Structure 1
Amino acid sequence: MSEHWTTADIPDQRGRVAVVTGANTGLGYETAKALAEHGASVVLAVRNTEAGERAAARMTGDVTVQALDLTSLDSVRTAAAALRSRLDRIDLLINNAGVMYTPKQTTQDGFELQFGTNHLGHFALTGLLLDLLLPVPGSRVVTVSSTGHRIRAAIHFGDLQWERSYSRVAAYGQSKLANLMFTYELQRRLAPHGTTVAVAAHPGMSSTELARNTPPAVRVPLTWLAPLITQPPAMGALPTLRAATDPAVLGGQYYGPDGHSQVKGHPRLVTSSPQSHDIAVQQRLWAVSEDLTGVTFPLTPARQHPAHSA
């Protein structure tokens, strides 16, 4: 394997089935495209199926489309049922879709849009599909987080839905911190099974449509700096692809770019914030997420832990 991991390092994926959310554009598109080119049967799980079909037509290999709107738990359940009816296994579930810095909005179920889409929608989808992964040795759940998990980020249990006040930056930080906490707690619950692992990744700063809601005060200087601090989506997808396919990956790891401040570069193992490792908060978030979504996982709960950070 080369010192700088690229798509050339992806092992043969023939016989593997991958479901990628938000795969009609940006990072998800590049992730799905690379997996299909290496032989995987790939399902693009997308809100806009027409855009999904156009994306699939630009890819080489076995690529199909599944309607999935993460802002609706009804849609998540319908999509999961459809996938269960057409697939007998899933090797890779890649929780990639997301929104960032949106004005204050709610999902169809009344959740704050960023928390509801980025975390709760993926939490529910994973729980509803997990028994298609558990029998498959080497299967993985890869969830895409962000360096935003460090920026004004906390799990605001007293106001998870930002009903009392709203900061689009802090709300995004909460959702991306939740992605990591979900990954770490999921890995702890998966460990006794020995077949499936949970891994996280982040793309650094990639030039995708995700940034379209960035506040003007931030977006204007970023426009000038973009050539220096951002990278193309194909590069931004590499940490996700490495987390999904590198045989050396272990459960509970986190991959991101190797450049300065992890804004760009080739994928490597990185660390997340100390608070993301707080087991008590992870377990509280898991319980709250089950209550909010009505989805429970076919796993034995991890042993309860006192407050801890690492």
Structure 2
Amino acid sequence: MAGTIIFTGANGSLGLYAVEHLLTKYPEHTALLTVRNATDADPNTGKLRDLIARFPNTKATIYQVDLSRLSDVHDFATVVAEQVESNKLPRIIGIVCNAFYWNLVGGPDMTVDGFEKSFAVSHVAHVALVLRLIGLFSPDGGRVTLLSSDAHYPGKNPTERIPPVIPEDLDLLPKPSATKGDTFGLGYQRYANSKLALTTWMYALNSHLEKDSNLRNVTAIALHPGALVDSRSLRTNAPGYLRIAQTLVLRPFLPILRLQNPTYRKARDAGVDTMELALGKIHPGERGYFVCRDPDESAPQSRDDEVQEKLWAKSAEWAGITEDKTALKLNS
């Protein structure tokens, strides 16, 4: 059955290929594609608009949503909800939380809501979006796909200098106390912490979905899409040596790198797999943590039931979600 799929960060490296795959193979669905800047002043949005133009018979719309502003997220959710409830849009079958932010050369950057920007964009905004719209999924179910990273798992990514952790005081996640020292290490930890939080929250989301008789057919996964050698992120808010490594090592030596670590791959392959998972075409009905396209084991702290439930409650608070704004129960 045709449905609506929402995709954040749709003009990103992975996003463009995921959208292309959706429009090529599944044109019956309606795509709501969010970007931070919807004007052609952003060349990547221009690429997205050109991509959509190649498929004139598909139903795809670009929305400007600044995920670093919670008011933008809630306004977008309200618009979508009104359109679904008035049958102007079909019921939702998928939400792909792909957008993220990092700053490895400065920061921490704070949002207008007073949150550290990596955490606000990657975690808080997506919590708000999912909880606002979860009750509008098709009765047949669907899937929430949260883009994670191997960075969430302490010791997994060689770029890590300071391991990610969910602290006892959860408010240190959106408002970190460590702001001086190793700029790169702290910046990468903030990014990794946002992915650890999102992965941990995924388990709590699944627990609450399974307890709800109306929503138990909706599944949630956290997906590490792979180490993308052609990702634009390596050239954004990143030190110059990462750009050089991408040009001289990662791209030309991809076949050799894959012998050591098969998760190294191109954004095109990751985009295709992400969309196939998001639509439940592969591993339908399954939940949990995935790497590339298959189930895997997430970081130990993310699998701690107590941490999951504490983060569930706190995330709703950060996101401005109250009982009247979501179809799910916020308490256990």
TM over 0.5: yes
Instruction: Give 2:153's aligned amino acid.
Output: R
Instruction: Give 2:237's aligned amino acid.
Output: N
Q: Quick one: distance in 1 between partners of 2:75 and 2:33? A: 15
Q: After TM superposition, give the deviation of residue 53 of structure 1 in Å.
A: 6.3
Contiguous gaps of at least 5 residues in structure 2: 86-90, 155-162, 181-185, 258-263
- 1:298 aligned to 2:302? no
- Which residue, 283, 286, 305 being the options, matches 1:248? 283
Q: After TM superposition, give the deviation of residue 301 of structure 1 in Å.
A: 4.6
- Select between 174-183 and 282-291 the one with higher mean Cα deviation: 282-291
- Structural RMSD (CA): 2.1
Instruction: Give 2:21's aligned amino acid.
Output: A
Q: Is the 8 A contact 1:92 1:139 kept in 2?
A: yes
Residue 199 of structure 1 corresponds to which residue in structure 2? 221
Q: After TM superposition, give the deviation of residue 176 of structure 1 in Å.
A: 0.5
Listed one character per residue, the Cα deviations across residues 197-247 of structure 1 (whole Å, up to 9, x for unaligned) are 111212211122222223345554454321224432111223422321225
Listed one character per residue, the Cα deviations across residues 7-40 of structure 1 (whole Å, up to 9, x for unaligned) are xxxxxxx612111001023111221221222122
- Select between 150-159 and 191-200 the one with higher mean Cα deviation: 150-159
Instruction: Give 1:120's aligned amino acid.
Output: V
1:115-154 alignment, distance < 5 Å? 115-133=119-137, 135-151=138-154, 152-154=163-165
Residue 191 of structure 2 corresponds to which residue in structure 1? 172
Q: Quick one: distance in 1 between partners of 2:114 and 2:34? A: 22
- 1:225 aligned to 2:249? yes
Q: Is the 8 A contact 2:277 2:283 kept in 1?
A: no
Q: Quick one: distance in 1 between partners of 2:298 and 2:148? A: 10
Instruction: Give 1:295's aligned amino acid.
Output: I
**Secondary structure, aligned partner of 1:168:** helix
Tell me: CA distance 1:48–1:76, structure 2 relative to 1, closer, same or farther (3 Å): same
For normalisation by structure 2, the TM-score amounts to 0.78
Q: Quick one: distance in 2 between partners of 1:158 and 1:41? A: 37
**Secondary structure, aligned partner of 2:265:** coil
Q: Quick one: distance in 1 between partners of 2:231 and 2:309? A: 32
Residue 55 of structure 1 corresponds to which residue in structure 2? 48
Instruction: Give 2:250's aligned amino acid.
Output: A
Q: Is the 8 A contact 1:145 1:200 kept in 2?
A: yes
Q: Quick one: distance in 1 between partners of 2:46 and 2:132? A: 24
**Secondary structure, aligned partner of 2:66:** coil
Give the aligned length: 280
Residue 30 of structure 1 corresponds to which residue in structure 2? 17
Q: Quick one: distance in 2 between partners of 1:158 and 1:195? A: 32
Instruction: Give 1:91's aligned amino acid.
Output: I
1:245-284 alignment, distance < 5 Å? 245=279, 246=281, 248-257=283-292, 267-284=293-310
Q: Larger RCO: Structure 1 or Structure 2 (Cα < 8 Å, ≥ 6 residues apart)?
A: 2
For normalisation by structure 1, the TM-score amounts to 0.83
Tell me: CA distance 1:34–1:302, structure 2 relative to 1, closer, same or farther (3 Å): farther
Contiguous gaps of at least 5 residues in structure 1: 1-13, 258-266, 304-310
1:63-142 alignment, distance < 5 Å? 63-88=60-85, 89-102=91-104, 103-104=106-107, 105-133=109-137, 135-142=138-145
Tell me: CA distance 1:53–1:83, structure 2 relative to 1, closer, same or farther (3 Å): farther
